[in-house]
Amino acid sequence: MSNSNRTVDFGFEKVAWDEKAKRVRSVFASVAGKYDVMNDLMSFGVHRLWKHFTLSLTGLKPGQRALDVAGGSGDLALGMLRQVGRSGSVVLSDINPSMLEVGRDRLLDLGFVGNVECLVADAEHLPFDDNSFDCVTIGFGLRNVTDKDAALRSMHRVLKPGGQLLVLEFSTPAAPIKPLYDAYSFKVLPVLGRLVAQDAASYRYLAESIRMHPDQETLLGMVRAAGFDMARYHNLSGGIVALHRGYKI
């Protein structure tokens, strides 16, 4: 089937395959200015702990090179810049120029110049040579990608042999907390979006996109199918978030 005849989830809505990326860009262009504030409010600051755990597992050493895909405001890129030092380098990429601008300005304000590159890039078709990076991360971005399998293959391609992929993403929480989590996602998040970011619809989409994202075991299978070895995942906060890992051998 050609892409012109395919559909894909955009939250709970079905849209044309070629339409999703444009819709996602519109969502994040709308929320870019309030993205970090909303992350703190929505997660009660716990997103910082999830990212800290992710960074603790990169294995990066001074002088190495890393890529943060769909990196937005640059939390993971910032952490990896500190790990690779001045002799290393980090690329911060995002498909959305508005989000990338937020991340670029933040890194510049913190004094990171010369060993960081900010680049508009599509996760499904990363514009880098094969075997370019020692570590690739994607934090809370994979669920917004149209073709997740293509993105995973693309990230595998640009990793060096021995390099690691880290996928931090919302996932499927444990049964006891799911009713409360659903109520919070669909009742509270849109209200926060309306009050803080003046955009309830975008945060309604974000809540819906989490529900449509593959669960832990399904995503694990996708990571393995993309060619990653020693693939596994860690549930965080009762499975509200999961960190999937895999290596290129």
Give me the amino acid identity at 20: K
Question: 10 Å Cβ neighbour count for 176?
Answer: 9
Residue 28 has pLDDT above 90, yes or no: no
Distances (CA, A) of 243 to 39, 40, 123, 137: 18, 19, 18, 10
Q: What is the pLDDT of residues 140-195, one digit of tens each?
A: 999 999 999 999 999 999 999 999 999 999 999 999 999 999 999 998 888 888 88
Q: What are phi and psi for residue 204, nearest 5 degrees?
A: -65, -40
Mean pLDDT, residues 111-133 taken together? 97
Q: What is the pLDDT of residues 184-224, one digit of tens each?
A: 999 888 888 888 878 888 889 888 999 999 999 999 999 99
Mean pLDDT, residues 23-39 taken together? 83
What residues does each domain of the chain span? 3-175+204-247
Stated pTM of the model: 0.93
| Domain spanning 3-175+204-247, CATH class | alpha beta
Percentages helix, strand, coil for the chain (3-state, rounded to 5) are 50, 25, 25
